[in-house]
Structure 1
Amino acid sequence: MSFTSLGLLPELQQTLHHLDYRQPTLVQQQAIPAILAGRDLLASAATGSGKTAAFALPLLQRLAGQHERAALILVPTRELAEQVADACTAYARNLDLACVAVYGGVPLAEQVETLSDGCDLLVATPGRLLDLLANEILDLSAIDHVVLDEADRLLALGFARELATIGEQLPDHCQRLLFSATFPPAIRRLAQDWLRQPLEISATPHNRPAPKIKQWVVPVDKKRKPGLLLFMLRDRGWRQALIFVKSRKGADDLVTYLRGKELAADALHGERDQETRREVLAAFRERRVDLLVATDVAARGLDIDDLPLVINFDLPLAAEDYVHRIGRSGRAGASGTAVSLVCADEAPQLAAIERLLQRRLSREEEPGFEPRHELPQAAPVKPGKPTKTADFHGRPAAAGKTPGHPGGIKRARPGPAARPGAPGNKLTGRTTTGGRPRGR
């Protein structure tokens, strides 16, 4: 199947050819026609399977020539917001559509200025979007399409109430799309509240990593993990690796250790400001840094071409996060490697991961690093209930909201941000001519 057969505009097909997109992935084959037809969608696909293009391409097509309408994409992290916005901007290069990303961690005034001319497609983290709504910077009444991207992560990070509040401000007629790499029960409940008679698609089995990722576990005592990591990096000649730890302090401590061994390493976590995080990611992509030590803030939204190796220095607390971590490798059908250094204290997390995967991960001890505290033998893996994640509390209002009116995603008049509900600060719609570069 080719992109031509999916009914995309010639302008989008030209862009895909320029980007060297030759054939649609499975999720793109299933999602693009359904979104073009206006269906609500519940979609499950593995990380790296092309989810962003699956919803961005048809949304851009539906928005083309309709500047009075707009689309909203909600994502869990700053990194993912930037990644999705960059992808949408690339896809829209031949269309007169503007894409903007807003997220926390940067001054609000900067993003208000970016939004001064309005936009057609807004990518936002829930907290920052609510800031803009509370200050009457944005108006969602003209939103025609809304996407929850990495919906399971949105719930796991505690955004349930924010989603409910945002949902109450969206017009009833919105097309609603829910994309997630994992499908815990909480996502089913969210879908029941959020979507209307959705088409359900699944490009891969639920909660399964890409099939070409080789995975195994190395049992080791907790105190010997740094030495084992160093030994394996040198013994196997591993050059580039994304290493996951459970805490910010753990990331900084491990980077200090690795640098002390003359290895090029840096840390990525929530205490680093956004500009520093951009610089660290750029250095890792460009191979100026070989080892990136990250907390789960980077488990979603990191898109690194041909990343060969993911190392779990610490296992994640939530089994679903294991899938996302190792999914940074083996993207778009490529092969990859994922190795986990596991101490006896982490046996419950390992058991939860194996239940989720419905398979045992092989244990391979390293000579000289055999643990004193042995990892318990795994029980037979049987299909069971997935590990519990955050639930969705509150549902978007189904009726009684004011119908949307034209005007795109709009902002308040220039000047100081207004108090919520302050009189005399009505929102004005942007015009569709002048003031905004074409194809931004």
Structure 2
Amino acid sequence: MEVLNESALLNVSQNHATRKDFLSIIKAGIASVDAYTLVRKILNYDGAKVHVGNSIWHRKGRVFVLGAGKVAHHMASACVDEIEDCTGVVLCPVSGSHGNVKFLRCEHPLAGENNLKNTETLIDILRSASQDDLVLFMISGGASAMLAAPLDGLSIDEKNAIVRKLMLSGADIKELNTVRKHLSRIKGGKAALLTQARILGLVLSDVPEGSVSDIGSGPTAPDWTKKEDAIDIMKRYGIWENLKGNTKKIIESAEETPKFDNPCFRTVRNYIIGDCTKMAQACAQRAEELGYEVHILTTALDAEARESGKLFAEILNQTYIKSQRRLFVAAGETTVNVRGNGRGGRNLEVVMGFLKKLNVKDGVILAFATDGKDGTTPWAGAFGDANTIACANKNALSINDFLSANNSMEFFEKTGDFITVNDTRTNVGDLIIFGYR
């Protein structure tokens, strides 16, 4: 991963060295969860047997590579480079191919017509695979939106409306995916019902402390949620009572998702190959090499964004010791309750919350979306420190006003502290580091 505006971010009057260290630390974290590299490490083919973790498949038939997610194409490319004659399709943000595996472009975070068409293509391949075949199923964050096969009778617009309202209401990723499973014909383990082939699922997790069932809405995993759970979540956020009567009936009458005792899972194995815990540990290792005392606060962050930022600033303020190097690491995924009409992202709001409470001039925060796109912005995240505060004061930028409008993008556009990157080749949630030197 390359930080495209690194020189501008380091052209500051204060905290230059800390910012430089922090960029080195996040690069180490991102490299540790590179999707292509992780698949190459776990997948091995010797011409007769496919090895994935402790699973061995003695080849009898075809090898299909299927999947969905923001980095599914990188994962699929690793499969092709290991097993040259594999074939299949993955649903991802780009169009193209690698070997005989096609990349089918899909929309995110809300499904479009391409998603519907491409998901049916994937379903057709699943149904065509025999018991002698192997399906390598790639799953990463974004799969929930890209795999679009609504319940019979439920339109994509109706499904999207429910998901959009949950997002705007601040529902967390587990709540979102619980509802998605019970609105779908492929999520919540239903992909395993569609094929006779053996499935080996390779999963890059973007869900803090999530099980395979949580990630990408678990198309190949037994589902631990029930239809009633999804309905309760919709009721909690004031959505259920506003649905059409027919929509309610479709959801209520849908077949339950397959559970752990379903026979379809006898020939399915799933492996989580990377997550934010692995990334946080790599960040800690790099920070220690740079002389920092490191504290990993959490790898299951799921609080409101700006409130998280305030808490992080209070931690820094209360633990500050001059002339020491100290770093705090938090990973997971915050939420935002959208009230305004501005553009912004979770990580930008974390930084703004931090700036509201920061009273240590040496204190620095970097909040980063590991997929390289924070919210509705084209950026990955932002720095926040005394330089940011000085620029805001000089230009009469009110943090409170920008937060009230959920307009964090314009704030950082004016301060210049946003971070722009090229392809990160991963998606494991959010990474937040803060501290001083």
- TM-score of the superposed pair, with normalisation by structure 1: 0.31
Higher helix share: 2
Structure number with the higher strand fraction is 2
